[in-house]
């Protein structure tokens, strides 16, 4: 037996001396048979590159630039008036870029240039190309049934006077209206353009809604800032027709320029409208007062006031003047409250420079006007249902409420001041009680006239200022460079395409061959294990399709259950001389079936009559109790910290007379340090004294050091290697553990071994070890396995690839 083992180890030693890596020289010679296919792939790639270059549409780059002026310091004497009505402070280039590339702006450009109608010349290879600006035919739309739907016509020019629609249609005359579906159209012949200059007399005419055309243009339109310090924007557009791109960019800059002027004129218009309405009201009131004064003088013959009243009148005059000033302010506040409170003016700008000097009120109105303009700007690029617009409207309502409250407060202040001033004049008025009542009435009427006159003059002044500002309104943009196109196409790039295709012609076949080698990075066969480690293989466990992790039961004759019984028999030779053996089960990483092996090894040992306990030492990620369907209770960690005794932590597995489980308990914050506690030795001593077999389900040795720490308690170590899951390079760790003896008596258990291909076909395929001649699963010695699940299509492709190319 010893000689056999020594010979086996010597065989494995020579196997591990083989290089694990495939060098470039070996790779080339190994795959030299694929050279003709690589050459063919390169030739095909070159031909495809030629076709790509020959028949691709030429795309040209058109570019222009414009200056966005910063109007923060406009030079106006009344800076606050400018901020509220005409200028909006520092220009935000990011906002301007969004406006330039917004759908409403592009749609306006499309309509101005009539891009809704486009003409395409058809060819034999290149399907169609844009014909612009001059075309042999032109279409005029008389009426459209549904302006939201696109339509297209195939027009074949028969001669200078006739054309046909589609194929096989009757000839139609140019210039005659006709019905196309529910649309009324006219097609004209542009005789200045010869049809012979085109590859075909067949043309496609498309009509699209402006929104559809705009969506197609936005993707090719780029607007960028030259640098962070400059306010110059660079506009670029990629198109197959240079004239089309030039006209688009030039019109875009014109539309943007006109929109800025329109916004400013709208602000001035709203201000003038407000002032004119107030002037009309004051003019009516002044005319009525003048008529009343004239009638009063004639009827009461009041033309002069006696000298003795001069002193008192002067005092009253001063008081009246001050009261008149307060009344003007009150009138202005009333006008603004009425204007802002009117629901028809909710989304109109509020004029402020009306004599009110309260800073808080001025700031509120300035914010209100800024939000109004911001809402209008957003409505150009989105709908009223946009959350941003709704948020602005909500803010507007709050600011509007605050303005009304501030105006009411301001008005109350004026009223209080007026009341106090009036009280001061009461003493003087008492002295005038002896004066004729007629003189007092005349004085009151004159005072009202003066108030109305002052307010009227004030509004006339503001009207003149606003008219002057409106007349001098200019845009804040300037075209620096009109759109220019480069005659050299940016696409297709001939050199780049040829290089890219030839590289792909080389990379794809070579990559497929290399991928075939690189993809085989996991252990698939027993040979893969034997070539990379000298550790002995204790046994093999086949693939199980059962839903339960516990496949070994008392009456089970399944093939996988019998494999565990074989594994038990092999393990007896290793632990024959050990009393109450302790077996440590570990693996490289999670998911290799470590807990599956531990559970079923415990079950198969218990079925042999051995009182067995499975200890769940994978404290970080315990799975044993969950796999057995047991409820978690106190466990190892409780015992170590002294909060439980041994009888509290053991649980018997239902259905097994001799199988017990010790759970891990609560997961501690320091598992590695916990396993170094002296109480662990007491636990292991107790377990080995009360059970005939102790199985330690430990954490993966490739991730943490728990298994190494527990190795001193074990007699043997079962290292689980899962077929198709364990990486080949991880077997270096196995070899290191085996040679350095960091774990006691390591033996390998090959898990999830498939019955087709690999080890079985290579070692025993000729004899039908698991297959024919009545020795396989179908031999009658085992229960038939559960019906296999359907193989997904992608796995069928992988199997096909492995069958033909592995």
pLDDT of residue 27: 66
Least confident range from 104-113, 524-533, 788-797: namely 788-797
Instruction: Report the alpha-carbon distance of residue 276 to residue 780 in Å, rounded.
Output: 107
Per the domain annotation, does 99 fall within a domain? yes
Which pLDDT belongs to residue 557?
74
Residue 53: asked if its preceding bond is cis (omega within 30°), the reply is: no
State the pLDDT at residue 94: 84
Higher pLDDT, 705 or 135: 135
Give yes or no: residues 514 and 598 share one domain: no
- Give the confidence band of 572 by pLDDT, cuts at 50, 70, 90: confident
Domain boundary pick from 237, 261, 285: 261
632: CATH: 3.40.50.300
Residue, of 396 and 31, whose pLDDT is higher: 396
Mean pLDDT of 677-705: 90
Print the domain residue range for 333: 262-478
Q: Is pLDDT above 70 for 470? A: no
- pLDDT of res. 77: 47
More confident residue, 442 or 64: 64
What pLDDT is attached to residue 757?
39
Over residues 26-33, mean pLDDT: 68
Task: Specify whether the CB–CB gap between 89 and 83 falls below 8 A.
Answer: yes
**For residue 686, pLDDT beyond 90:** yes
**Do 450 and 513 have their domain in common?**
no
Is residue 759 assigned to a domain? no
Q: Return the pLDDT at 188.
A: 93
353 three-class SS? coil
Q: What percent of the chain has pLDDT over 90?
A: 21
Lowest mean pLDDT among 374-378, 618-622, 712-716, 795-799: 795-799
Q: What is the pLDDT at residue 694?
A: 94
> pLDDT of 231-262, one tens digit each?
888 999 988 888 999 999 999 888 888 887 77
Side-chain half-sphere exposure of 303, counting CA atoms within 13 A = 3
Q: What's the rounded mean pLDDT across residues 418-436?
A: 65
Under 8 Å between Cβ of 695 and 615 = yes
- Pick the more confident residue, 304 or 618: 618
- Are 355 and 402 found together in one domain? yes
Half-sphere exposure of 484 (CA within 13 A, CB side): 8
One domain, residues 111 and 254: yes
Integer Cα distance of 651 and 278 in angstroms: 94
How far lies 804's CA from each of 448, 507, 758, in Å? 108, 21, 14
Residue 687 lies in a domain: yes
544 lies in the same domain as 689: yes
Q: What is the mean pLDDT of residues 505-515?
A: 86
* Residue 172 and residue 315 in one domain: no
- Regarding whether 88 and 39 lie in a shared domain, the answer is no
Same domain? 276 vs 229? no
298 lies in the same domain as 358: yes
For residue 606, the model assigns a pLDDT of 92
CA neighbor of 707 nearest in space, from 583, 568, 564, 576: 583
* 131-154 average pLDDT score: 89
The answer, yes or no, to whether residue 773 has pLDDT greater than 60, is no
Look at residue 786 in the predicted model and tell me its pLDDT: 52
Q: What is the reported pTM?
A: 0.44
Instruction: Pull the structure tokens for residue 528.
Output: 């893969």
Q: What is the pLDDT of residue 9?
A: 40
**pLDDT tens digits for range 650-676:** 999 998 999 999 999 888 888 888 888
Q: Are residues 108 and 227 in the same domain?
A: yes
For residue 638, the SS3 value is helix
DSSP single-letter state for residue 226 = S
Tell me: pLDDT of 19 over 60.
Answer: no
pLDDT on residue 212:
92
pLDDT recorded at residue 545: 77
**Count of domains for the chain:** 4
Do 533 and 436 share a domain, yes or no?
A: no
User: What are the pLDDT digits (tens) for 81-99?
Assistant: 455 444 445 567 888 888 8
805 falls within a domain: no
Task: Give 717's Cβ-side CA count (13 Å radius).
Answer: 26
Nearest by Cα to 381 from 597, 514, 492, 218: 218
The confidence band for 75, taking pLDDT boundaries of 50, 70 and 90, is: very low
* Pair 111, 75 in one domain: yes
Query: 74 versus 559: which is more confidently predicted?
Result: 559
User: What is the rounded average pLDDT for all residues in the chain?
Assistant: 79
């Amino acid at each position: 037996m010893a000689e056999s083992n020594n010979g086996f180890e010597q065989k494995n030693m020579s196997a591990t001396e083989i290089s694990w890596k495939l060098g470039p020289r070996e790779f080339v010679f190994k795959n030299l048979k694929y050279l003709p296919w690589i050459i063919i792939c390169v030739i095909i790639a070159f031909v495809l590159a030629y076709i790509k270059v020959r028949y691709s549409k030429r795309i040209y780059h058109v570019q222009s630039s414009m200056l966005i002026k910063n109007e923060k310091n406009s030079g106006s004497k009344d800076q606050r008036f400018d901020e509220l009505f005409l200028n909006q402070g520092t220009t935000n280039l990011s906002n301007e870029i969004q406006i330039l590339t917004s759908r409403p702006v592009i749609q306006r450009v499309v309509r101005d240039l009539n891009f809704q109608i486009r003409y395409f010349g058809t060819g034999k290879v290149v399907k169609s190309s844009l014909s612009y600006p001059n075309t042999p035919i032109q279409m005029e739309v008389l009426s459209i049934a549904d302006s939201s739907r696109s339509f297209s016509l195939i027009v074949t020019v028969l001669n200078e006077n006739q054309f046909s629609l589609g194929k096989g249609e009757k000839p139609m005359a140019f210039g005659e209206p006709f019905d196309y579906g529910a649309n009324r159209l006219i097609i004209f012949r542009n005789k200045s353009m010869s049809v012979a200059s085109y590859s075909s007399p067949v043309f496609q005419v498309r009509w699209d809604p402006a929104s559809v055309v705009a969506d197609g243009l936005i993707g090719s339109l780029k607007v960028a800032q030259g640098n962070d310090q400059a306010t110059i924007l660079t506009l670029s557009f990629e198109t197959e027709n240079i004239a089309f791109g030039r006209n688009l960019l030039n019109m875009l800059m014109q539309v943007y320029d006109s929109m800025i002027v329109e916004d400013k004129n709208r602000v001035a218009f709203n201000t003038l409208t407000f002032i004119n309405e107030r002037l009309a009201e004051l003019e009516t009131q002044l005319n009525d007062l003048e008529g009343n004064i004239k009638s009063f003088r004639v009827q009461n013959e009041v033309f002069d006031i006696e000298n003795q009243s001069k002193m008192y009148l002067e005092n009253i005059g001063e008081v009246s003047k001050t009261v008149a000033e307060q009344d003007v302010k009150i009138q202005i506040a009333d006008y603004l409250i009425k204007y802002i409170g009117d629901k028809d003016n909710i989304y109109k700008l509020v004029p402020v420079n009306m004599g009110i000097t309260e800073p808080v009120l001025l700031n509120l109105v300035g914010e209100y006007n800024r939000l109004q303009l911001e809402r209008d700007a957003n409505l150009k690029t989105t709908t009223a249902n946009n959350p941003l617009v709704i948020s602005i409207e909500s803010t507007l309502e709050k600011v509007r409420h605050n303005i009304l409250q501030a105006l009411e407060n301001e008005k109350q202040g004026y009223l209080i001041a007026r009341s106090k001033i009036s009280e001061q004049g009461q003493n003087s008025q008492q002295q005038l009680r002896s004066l004729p009542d007629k003189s007092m009435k005349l004085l009151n009427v004159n005072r009202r006239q003066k108030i109305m006159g002052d307010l009227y003059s004030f509004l006339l002044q503001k009207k003149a200022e606003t008219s002057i500002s409106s007349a001098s309104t200019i845009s804040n943009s300037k075209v620096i460079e009109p759109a220019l196109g480069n005659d050299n196409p940016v696409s297709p790039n001939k050199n780049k395409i040829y290089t890219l295709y030839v590289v792909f012609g080389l990379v794809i076949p070579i990559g497929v061959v290399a991928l075939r080698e690189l993809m085989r990075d996991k252990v698939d066969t027993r040979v893969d294990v034997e070539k990379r480690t000298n550790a002995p293989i204790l046994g093999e466990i086949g693939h199980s399709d059962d839903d339960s992790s516990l496949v070994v039961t008392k009456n089970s004759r399944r093939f996988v259950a019998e494999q565990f019984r074989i594994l038990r028999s092999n393990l007896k030779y290793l632990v024959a001389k050990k009393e109450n053996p302790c077996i440590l089960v570990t693996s490289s990483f999670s998911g290799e079936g470590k807990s599956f092996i531990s559970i079923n090894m415990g079950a198969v040992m218990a079925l042999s009559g051995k009182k067995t306990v499975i200890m769940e030492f994978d404290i970080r990620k315990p799975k044993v109790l969950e796999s057995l369907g047991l409820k978690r209770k106190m466990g190892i960690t409780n015992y170590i910290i002294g909060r439980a005794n041994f009888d509290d932590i053991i649980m018997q597995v239902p259905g097994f007379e001799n199988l017990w489980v010790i759970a891990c308990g609560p997961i501690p914050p320091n598992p590695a340090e916990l396993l170094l506690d002296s109480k662990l030795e007491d636990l292991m001593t107790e377990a080995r004294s009360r059970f005939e077999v102790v199985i330690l389900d430990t954490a993966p040795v490739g991730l943490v050091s728990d298994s190494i720490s527990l190795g001193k308690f074990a007699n043997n170590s079962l290292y689980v290697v899962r077929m198709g899951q364990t990486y080949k390079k991880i077997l270096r760790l196995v070899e290191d553990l085996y040679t350095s003896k960091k774990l006691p008596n390591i033996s390998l258990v090959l898990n999830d071994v498939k019955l087709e291909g690999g080890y079985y076909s290579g070692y025993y395929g000729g004899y039908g070890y698991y297959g024919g001649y009545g020795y396989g699963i179908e031999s009658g010695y085992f229960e038939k396995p559960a019906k296999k699940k359907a193989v997904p299509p992608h796995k069928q492709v992988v199997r096909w690839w492995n069958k033909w190319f592995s």
